[in-house]
Each structure stands twice: as C-alpha cells, then as structure tokens.
Chains A and B, each alone.
Chain A
Amino acid sequence: MAACVVKIGVYVCHCGLNIAGTVDVAKVAEYAETLSNVVLAKHYTYMCSDPGQRMIQEDIKKHKLNRIVIATCSPRMHEETFRKAAEEAGLNPYLVEIVNLREHVSWPHGGEPEKATEKAKALVRMGVARARLLELLKKVKVAVEKKVLVVGGGIAGIQASLDMANAGLSVYLVEKQPSIGGRMAQLDKTFPTLDCSACILTPKMVDVGRHPNITLLTNSEVADVKGFVGNYEVTVLKKARYVDESKCVGCELCVKVCPVKVPDKFNENFSQTRAVSIQFPQAVPKVASIDPAYCLRLKLGKKEVCGKCLQVCEAKAIDFEQKPEEIKLKVGGILIAVGSGVFDASKMAEYGYGRFPDVISNIEFERISDASGPTGGKIVSPRTGKHPKSIAFIQCVGSRDKRFHEYCCRVGCMISLKQAILARGKLGEDVNIYVCYNDLRSFGKDCEEFYRRARDLDINFVAGIPSDIRRLADGTLYFDVYERGTNRLLEVHADIVVLANGLVPNIDLDSIGTMFHAGRSADGFLLEAHPKLRPLESSTAGVFLAGTCQGPKDIPDTVAQASGAAAKVVDLLSAGEIELEPLKAVVDEEFCSGCDVCRSLCPFSAMEIVPKGEGKTAKVIEAMCQGCGLCAAACPSGAVKIQQFTDRQLLAQVQVSCKEPEGGS
C-alpha cells in the first residue's frame, strides 16, 4: 500500500450518552480532522446502527477512504460489525481500526469530562497512527474433519452425541467408566417431576449404543490432543477391561462365581460387587469388566490362580491377555462434558460426616432410596438398618462457604426438597422431616410449586443452619439450630442427617483443562468464552462445553446446554471448511537464523524448524497458530511478526501516545 495515498476516515460514536455523556465527541472529531492523512471525521449517536454503518460505507465510496478508524465501544462488541460493513463497501476488513472510548474512557472517567476528552483525543491519535500502517489481510480457509470427539458419557455427553449423530456427524464418545450414564444413572427420582431417573435416561443410553454414527469408547480416557479447530488429532487410551466387548453377552455368570468382594462405588460403597462386574443393571455397553486392582489372577500376575470366570463364561469373552489400546482419532470439533464431582463433606469436621454413619451425603441418599440400590429402595439408617423416625436435611454443605466453595451449588435445595418428599412418601406421615436452610432457592420451572408441595406434606423448614452435629450415647444424632423466623434455639434429633453436598469441579478438570487449552473460572469449573453471549464454547476455537463441567446445573439445564453445544459443533463443521482469522505469526526468512526459540515457546505447537539452503528457518503452521504473539516477542532478530499487530504498528501508536509528533508521520 506504500504507493497509495492513505486516506483515513474517523468516526466518533456517542453510544447514546454512554460516551457522549462524558466525552466531548464533537471536539474529538474536530481534533481528529487535524491529524495527517485524515480526510474526514464525523460523530454520530449510534455508529453501530444501520444509518451509522451506511454513513461509513457511503464515505468509503465517495471519498475513496482506505482506512477507517472508529472510536466507539470495545472491539469485542462491534469490531466484527464494522469490518463487515467495510467489506460490503469494498474495503479490506482488516483496514478498520477500533478505538475504545467507552470501556477505556467514558466509563472509568465518568466524573472528569475534560480529562476524559483529552484521553479520547490521545487514543484517537494513536488509532490513526496505527491505521496508517494497517495491512491488507485475508482470512485463511481450512478444510475440517466432519467428526466430533465427545468427552464424557453422562447425560450431557449422551444428549450432545445423539444430536450430532442425528445431524450426520461421526461421533466418538469417550467415557472413563465401563458404562455410560454418569451421575444421572445413580439418581432415584428427578425433581421437580419425580420422574424415575433411570426410566428417562436408559432409552437414551440404548440409542447411543446402537446409533450407526456413534462410536462408543468406554473404559477410555483422552491421553493427548494436538491440532487446531477443524483438524484435531486425539489419542484415546482404552484401558484393558479383560473382557472382549464383541463377545460378552452380559449374562453375569462370571459375576456370580467371582469370589472377590469389592466395594460398589456405584452404590456409594453401601454394598459390594465383585472383581468382575457390570457397573449397574442398565449399563451400556452391557459388558462385564474386571478390576485389575482386585482380581486375584491379575493382582498376583499368576496364570494358575482362580480363573473361575474363565471357566464359566460360555461366550469365551474373558481375556486376561487384553492390553490397553491406543486409538488415534481425527476430529474437527471437541465437546467436553466430563461432569462434576460432589463435595466431600468429611472436610467439614463439624458435621461428623465419615465419623457418624448416619450422617450421609445427598448422593448416598439417592442410592438408599433407589429401588435398584443396596436397600431395595427402603430408606433406612445405615447404622441400625431400621426406618428412621426423624430425618434432617442440612443445606449449603461446602457451598456458599468461603472455606470451601463460594458459589451456590444451584441444585442442593431442589435435591433436598425432592428427597424430603420421597422420604415422606416412603416413610409415612409420622416421620418428622426437617430441612435446615439458609435461603431456599427453588428458581427453576415448576420448582417453586414443588417447594409449596413439600410444605403441604408437613416438611418442617427451619430457617437456620446448625453449627455442628452431635451424637448421643445411644448413637442417635442431634443438633441445635437457631430458627431466625421465630428467634428460637431448637434442638433437633434425627436418625438420619442428609447433607446437601454441592457439586464441585471434577478432579479431572486439571488435566482436561490443560490438554484442551480450556480455561477455568475462579470457581474451578471450565470457563465459557463469554458468560452471556458464548456460553457453550471454551475460549479455544473448536472446543465446546456442556453440562456440569462448566458450572453446577440441574438435568434440564444440562440437557439444554448439551443440545445447544451440539448445534454449535454442527454449525462449525457442516460446511466442510472454516475461515480462520489471519491474526497469525509470519516469519521473515531473511532474518531468521533457525535458533529454535520460537518453536520451543509456542504453546500451540504451531512452529516448526525446516532446512533452508545450508541453514534452517522457522516456519509457521498457519492453521495451528492462535496469534498469541509469544514467538514475536521472543524472537532475538525480530524475524517473527504477528499480522495485524506488527512491531511497526504498535511502536507507531506508542510514539504518538503522549504527544502528536510535529508534521505527522
């Protein structure tokens, strides 16, 4: 563009009174007109409006403008809008420069209009300096794999997989456990409808198992991820289950003969399963797996030991020789749906969880209330095995608690309401049921009505949280709680105390966040790209989020988010190719010595060192580069630059930041 005369148009936006209420926009525009290369400068109420954009487009044509500076809100809001407008008027979209007069000027300097106006002028001056040096850039087009990796086979992963598979994408669903189903499979009933959790979940599990577009990889974990949006290379580690999935018919003969008893994690360790087992009756795939930590033969590593399952299996599915398998996948998009953990209440010494057997967690209550659980659905005290005469629920355990998790778990109140209602139904009118709460949050659809129903069923809501739980000599529990509605200290005796443990970030998020370059928010959950406008994506292109890995939520919200994220993936991959922003590193090979500094620093593996003549040079793998700029900053010879953010452009801005150089540039 050197030969061409630079003609800049400057547009100052009022943003209603957001900017114009503080900054003297007319003065800023007047000032902009005095800067060299500026052909015209205007101000207008809403530049982002249709008339505002049309004004810019007409000026581009009429005055042959070849650079546009728009002093308005953050580029995060409207950079794309103005780039498109410029493109429509025949100007390369990367010749538009945004100056932020709202977040950087009028909002933080509301009380100082004169100083704010001066700052606005300085920023416009800097924007013009940079605009002079903007270069023509083109978007990069890359082909994409029409395949998706879904990590996690809970309800979020199941729903998203089905949606994407139905839309024609090939889906790889990776689940760590031997069966899909996740947390929802452990639940008895669901609020606020009291639907049987398994009854509504298992049909979807079955659909996943037999869908021609879904490849189910259970007992598997993602080991490595390389690549970039549209073209990820994923390594999945399929652990040995010591049972041939293609042969096992799920008859459970092996389970019946296995002599090794193992705590059943699915039943929260209230019962025992065997070293060879099927996770739960409706498991998908309905295939046994052997736990090598317990199986006698595998533990001792001796061929002559036990082998009872081997003898009894008619399908000849038991395979002690099975080895872990590395599976390489090529996918265009990734959807993370790894779910969450549940707060470990033993960290809260005051409630005696772990010391008092009758203090149980809400997920443990689900198992003892579930008809297919260890008690056959009979609600009994774990200590005595008898029906309780009194049950107390304690809310906000580990949540809304700065010692543990500051956030609200969003489901604890509704879970306790549901469990209290179930207990009333199963145990009858004579049982005393207490819910000790801080704020009772029943905000979802039909949830307030559910709360009223609980009150109708004579469930006592106590406004106050006990300080501790104590045990009497006979083993029963009691606690004091100050009821703030009536200003009384109440002593409550309970045979079972259920703690409303909140949802917490999955422990796997540490490795998953790093592996997929997915950020975390302050609460430890995976961070969405924008809390309101991009809630289904991570900040890494092509990596999407669904369910409780992104934040605590209930089943309806999880399913909605999963379907939404699935639609985003379909949107991304359906065209077969995608356009990438050209904000990428480029190497000037003339100055590059191939020193390897850039390659060793690049967090996206987007640099390679290739031979060049007798020496070598760095080369950018364009599609992988995210334009972070580490290489450009580190390059000792200045051979690497980031397009749209070159040293020349940035230094020009810095030079005029304090005063306008005489005679312009």
Chain B
Amino acid sequence: MSLVDLMSMAKPNLKSRAKVFSKLKGRDLVNCFQCIKCTSGCTALKLLELKPHEVEKLANLGFVDELVASDILWTCVTCLKCIQRCPQKASPYHVIMALRNLAVEREVKIPEAFMKAVSQVLETGMAEAYQKIAKGTETFDRESLKLPRIGSPREGFQALFLKALEEK
C-alpha cells in the first residue's frame, strides 16, 4: 500500500471504498475539490463535530474504516444543505448514509438514539411517537389534548420490519 495516515497509522481500505462507491453508483457524489463550503454551512458542525469535506476526502483516499468507526458519522442531522450548495454536485450526505449502512453491516456500536428510533418504529410503527407534548413550562398528554392513544402497529408489521432490516 502506498499510503499511510501517520497520525492514526491507518491504511486505506480500497475494498470497502469500492463498496461505498458502488452504493453511491459511481464517483459523481464524491467528486469533491475541497472548497469546504459544505463544512462552512454544516448544521452539525456548529452543534457537534461533523466536517463533511473530511468525509468526502477521507472516502476518496480510502480511509473508510476510520470513518465507519467514527462517532461523527452519526451526527449528521440530514438537513441536506451540503447537497444543495455543493458547487460540484457532490454529496457528503449520501456518502455518510452509505457509510452508516456499512457501519450497520459491520455491527459497529450504533448510538443509543438511533437504536431508540428503531425500537420505536418496531413498537409503534412510527419514527416519532410523542406521548407527551411540551409547551412552555407545561406538558400535555395526548388524552388532555383529546388525541387518540398511540397503539401497536398492524399485525405482521414487526416481522416484516425485522426481515427488511436483516436483508439490508
């Protein structure tokens, strides 16, 4: 191998890179020239630590293992600003999604919030199932607002959902 990251001693993983690129259906979404506009406007950079231009560059250089293991992958809030504004029509968002899928495949530890979302879908069939709603300092439950209770999903949904997850 002709490349080493001397800070982490990481080496490129070109096989995994090929997998990511095939998920992205080519190189258009990673054809980045590092103007760093995406990071300048990244919602998650301001809240957390995601630098979308680094995701693009590291994916190109083949440092996929590092990305897959990294927490920053999960900080993307999917606001899609990076896609809208990229002058080269690259997409850090799509790269991140492809990497998340790879992470799931590798059974990397996925942040709790994501797991919670999955179990919520499993239990309720909804990604966001609010039992209580806050307004100012007061909280209201669904009953007081005369909303129906959130019940269980239709029969057979859970089996289908789990099957779909496994297939992925």
Q: Could you tell me if A488 and B5 are in contact, using CB atoms closer than 8 angstroms?
A: yes
Task: State in angstroms the CA–CA spacing of A461 and B61 once bound together.
Answer: 9
Q: Which of A204-212, A272-280, A490-498, A508-516 contacts B (4 or more CB under 8 A)?
A: A490-498
Taking CB atoms and an 8 Å cut-off, the chain B residues in 100-144 that contact chain A are: none
Query: Is A489 an interface residue when CB atoms closer than 8 A count as contact?
Result: yes
A interface, over-half SS: strand
Find out whether the CB atom of A490 lies under 8 angstroms from the CB atom of B3.
yes
CB distance from A641 to the nearest CB of B (A): 63
B4: which A residues are within 8 A, CB to CB? Answer: 490-491
- Give complex CA distance A432, B53 in Å: 21
How far does the alpha carbon of A440 sit from the alpha carbon of B88 in the complex, in Å?
15
* Known pairs A485-B53, A489-B6, A490-B4; A463 contacts B34 (CB<8 A): yes
- Bound-state CA distance A432–B2 (Å) is 7
Scoring A390, A461, A485 by chain B CB atoms within 10 A of each residue's CB, the highest score goes to: A485
Whether, in the assembled complex, B57 has its beta carbon less than 8 Å from a beta carbon of chain A, the answer is yes
Segment touching B, from A25-33, A145-153, A452-460, A566-574: A452-460
**Do residues B33 and A461 form an inter-chain contact, with CB atoms below 8 A?**
yes
Query: Quick one: which of A456, A460, A488, A491 contacts B27, CB cutoff 8 A?
Result: A456
1/0 contact string of A469-490 vs chain B (CB within 8 Å): 0000000000010010111111
Interface status of B58 (Cβ within 8 A of chain A) = yes
The distance from the CB of A651 to the nearest CB of chain B, in whole angstroms, is: 62
**Distance between Cα atoms of A492 and B62 in the complex (Å):** 13
Tell me if B36 is interfacial: C-beta within 8 Å of chain A. Answer: yes
Q: Could you tell me if B5 and A490 are in contact, using CB atoms closer than 8 angstroms?
A: yes
- Please tell me which one of the listed residues B1, B7, B58, B88 contacts residue A489 in the complex, with CB atoms under 8 A apart: B7
Q: Which listed residue, A432, A452, A455, A491, touches B6 by the CB 8 Å rule?
A: A491
Q: Does B78 contact A (CB under 8 A)?
A: no
Q: Which residues of B contact A389 (CB under 8 A)?
A: 2
Distance of B57 from chain A, by nearest CB (Å): 5
Interface assignment of B31: CB less than 8 Å from any CB of chain A: yes
Give A486 Cβ to nearest chain B Cβ, in Å.
5
Inter-chain CA distance A451–B32, complex, in Å, is 11
**In chain A, what residue has the closest Cβ to B31?**
A455
Question: How far does the Cβ of B11 sit from chain A's closest Cβ, in whole Å?
Answer: 10
State in angstroms the CA–CA spacing of A390 and B12 once bound together. 14
Q: Is B49 an interface residue (CB 8 A)?
A: no
Min CB distance, A239 to chain B, in Å?
48
Q: How far is the CB of B167 from chain A (nearest CB, A)?
A: 30
Which residues does chain A contribute within 8 Å of B27, judged by CB atoms? Answer: 455-456, 458
Residue of A nearest to B58 (CB): A486
Given A451-B33, A460-B61, A480-B6, 15 more pairs with CB closer than 8 A: A432-B2, A440-B33, A455-B27, A485-B34, A485-B36, A485-B54, A486-B57, A489-B7, A490-B3, A490-B5, A490-B61, A491-B5, A492-B3, A493-B1, A494-B2
A-B contact list, 23 entries, CB within 8 Å: A432-B2, A432-B3, A434-B2, A434-B3, A440-B33, A455-B32, A456-B27, A460-B61, A461-B33, A463-B34, A480-B6, A485-B34, A485-B53, A486-B58, A488-B6, A488-B7, A489-B5, A490-B4, A490-B6, A491-B5, A492-B2, A493-B2, A493-B3
Residues of A within 8 A of B (CB): 389-390, 432, 434, 440, 451-452, 455-456, 458, 460-461, 463, 480, 483, 485-494
Instruction: Spell out B's residues near A (CB within 8 Å).
Output: 1-7, 27, 31-34, 36, 53-54, 57-58, 60-61, 88
